[in-house]
Every structure is written in C-alpha cells, then in structure tokens.
Amino acid sequence: MALGNQTAVSVFILQSFTQDPWLQAALFGLFFALFGVALAGNGLITAAVCWSPTLHTPMYFFLVNLAVLDMICTSTILPKVLQGLAADSTISFWGCLSQLFFFTWSLSSELLLFSAMAYDRYLAICRPLHYGARMGGRVCVSLAAFVWGVGLLNAALLTGLVLRLSFCGPNLIAHFFCEIPPVLLLSCSPTFVNDVMTITADVFLSGMNFLLTLASYSCIVASVLRMRSAVGRRRAFSTCSSHLLVVTLYYSTVLYTYIRPGLGSAGPLDKAVAVLYTTVTPTLNPLIYTLRNKEFKAALRKLLLFSTK
C-alpha cells in the first residue's frame, strides 16, 4: 500500500523477550503453562457456577463475567506470544488492530467489573437487609451490560483513533503484543488526540474505579471491625484482603503502563508489568476468588464427579 511517496506498513514485528534459545524455550514453557492454567481455571469457574443452582447468586454471576473476560484477555495475547517464542514474531496490520481491540475491550470491562464486584460485596456486608432489593437479577444483568458495553465503546473508540493514523515505518513494535502506547510510537501521523483520549480513558477506568473500589472496601473494613464474631471478622477479612490484593495489582500496573512518563516506551520493566495484568492476574484470579470458598469447592467437586461418570 502506498501513501504518497511512502509505503504503508502491512506487517508489524513484535519484539521478543530474548534472543537466547534456551531462555526462549523456558519462557515458552512458562507461558504455555500459565495459558493452560488460566483457561482451565476460568473455564471451571464458569462451568461450576452455571451447573450449580446454589451458586446462582450475584457474587458468582460477576465472577463468571470476570472469568470470561480473563479468558478473552489471555486468548488474545498468549497464542501470539507463544508463536513468537517458537518461530514467527510477525503480525499483520489487521491482526494487530484486532489484538489491540479485543485486549482493550477485556481490559476496560475488567476495570469496571472490579467496581461492580466491590459494590456487591459492600451491599452484602454493610447493607445486608437491603441486599436482595438492590442486587436483584435485573440489576445484576444491567450492571454487567453496562460493564461490557462501556468496555466495547472504549475499545471501539481507541481502536478507531489508531485506524485513522498512518504507519509508514519502522514496523518493530517495542513490546510483545499490540498495545496502544507502543503502537502509537510507530505512527507517521500526529498522535496528540490518541494520547489525550488514551490517558483520559485510563484516568476514568483505572483511577476513578480504583477510588470507588477502595471506598467500598474501606466501608467494608469499617463494618467488619464492628462485628462481634471473631470468626466472622476473620472470614470477611480473609476474603476482602485477597480481593483487594488482586484489584490493587491490576489497577496499579495498568495505571503505570498508560500514564507513566515516557508514554509508550517498553523496556524490560514495562514488559514485566504488562505480563502481570495480561497473564499472571488472569491466572491467579480463579485461585484467589475460589481457593478459600467452601461453597464453590463443593460445587466444583460435584461437577468433576458428575463429568467422570
């Protein structure tokens, strides 16, 4: 394709983690294992919740949404990472835009979903008498539709803004997948509007939702401290602390990537941070949200026993 006297880029090259064959093989094994665990763990969550009527509650409804988003995220990023470590690290222009779109969609939706999940826990612990009325089936579906819809709108807007840019070389993306900041660095067109919209979206989706989530958990902690039962306090703190750990890790890494000085640079630290929210967090979510949940483990045990018959 030609743009005036310049040639438009039709293929991008994704930067590898390393050129050492032994280290590449080790990373391939690591990412393959994480990919398998993420798909299996989130898939089991979805199957167990859908199969067990006892888990048809708002908390598990949102957990299924989180599991689906995590599977979309890992399935969007990791197959191409594995391909790059094994053989070919190139990606077509439209393949890059598709990866950028679906990753941005899952990322945006997950940031909003954490706030919805924190609100659900706030009502359950701090306003138990009003929980049934405020978190009915219609409210849950409406919240989920809002989460997915806003995420889709954000992804479509940011991807559309990238589509209007010209790319005439170089074509080496200084990252292991197509993410907005490093892709913008390769544009031959001005990216001021893209930069402003990207930062604005991140401030809203990451910054504001993080503050809302922290506010919800602050109220939860205050309510838990007033509990008379030591067992109840310990159980609530155990659940909330693990959830808050995941949320803090996810929000902080995303904020670092999209708002830090030197927007778009992708050194070793930046790649390590990206691995946290694209691979590690989706893999850990099933463990953190269900490992200490006796109700879920009982439902999962029944599902596994039923599937082996």
pLDDT in tens, the chain (309 residues): 434 434 578 899 998 888 888 999 999 999 999 999 999 999 989 988 888 888 888 989 999 999 999 999 999 999 999 999 988 889 999 999 999 999 999 999 999 999 999 899 889 888 888 888 888 889 999 999 999 999 999 999 999 999 999 998 789 998 899 999 889 999 999 999 999 999 899 888 888 888 888 888 888 888 877 777 666 667 666 667 777 777 888 888 887 777 664 444 556 778 888 898 899 888 888 778 776 677 777 777 777 776 555
Asked whether the beta carbons of 21 and 182 are under 8 A apart, the reply is no
Could you tell me the residue range of the domain that residue 209 belongs to? 22-297
Looking at the domain assignment, is residue 17 inside a domain?
A: no
Tell me what pLDDT residue 193 has.
93
- For residues 264 and 37, what is the distance between their CA atoms, to the nearest angstrom? 30
Tell me what pLDDT residue 261 has.
45
Tell me what pLDDT residue 306 has.
66
Tell me what pLDDT residue 35 has.
95
How many Cβ atoms sit within 10 Å of the Cβ of residue 46?
18
Looking at the domain assignment, is residue 53 inside a domain?
A: yes
List the one residue out of 43, 163, 143 whose CA is nearest residue 101.
Answer: 163
CATH assignment at residue 219 = 1.20.1070.10
Tell me what pLDDT residue 207 has.
83
**Which residues, 6 or more positions from 70, have their beta carbon under 8 angstroms from its beta carbon?**
38, 42, 106, 110, 281, 282, 285, 286
Looking at the domain assignment, is residue 92 inside a domain?
A: yes
- Reported for 84-87, long-range contacts at CB under 8 A and 24+ positions apart, including other chains, are 84/14, 84/16, 84/176, 85/16, 85/17, 85/24, 85/25, 85/27, 85/28, 85/31, 86/28
Tell me what pLDDT residue 142 has.
95
How many folded domains does the chain comprise? 1
Looking at the domain assignment, is residue 11 inside a domain?
A: no
Looking at the domain assignment, is residue 2 inside a domain?
A: no
Tell me what pLDDT residue 262 has.
45
Q: How far is CA 241 from CA 64, 218, 237, 245, in A?
A: 20, 11, 6, 6
Enclosing H/E stretch for 8: none
Looking at the domain assignment, is residue 302 inside a domain?
A: no
Looking at the domain assignment, is residue 133 inside a domain?
A: yes
pTM: 0.89
Asked whether the beta carbons of 216 and 118 are under 8 A apart, the reply is yes
Whether residue 268 is preceded by a cis peptide bond, meaning omega within 30 degrees of 0, is no
- For residues 24 and 8, what is the distance between their CA atoms, to the nearest angstrom? 31
| SS3 category, 171 | coil
List the one residue out of 80, 271, 103 whose CA is nearest residue 174.
Answer: 271
Looking at the domain assignment, is residue 13 inside a domain?
A: no
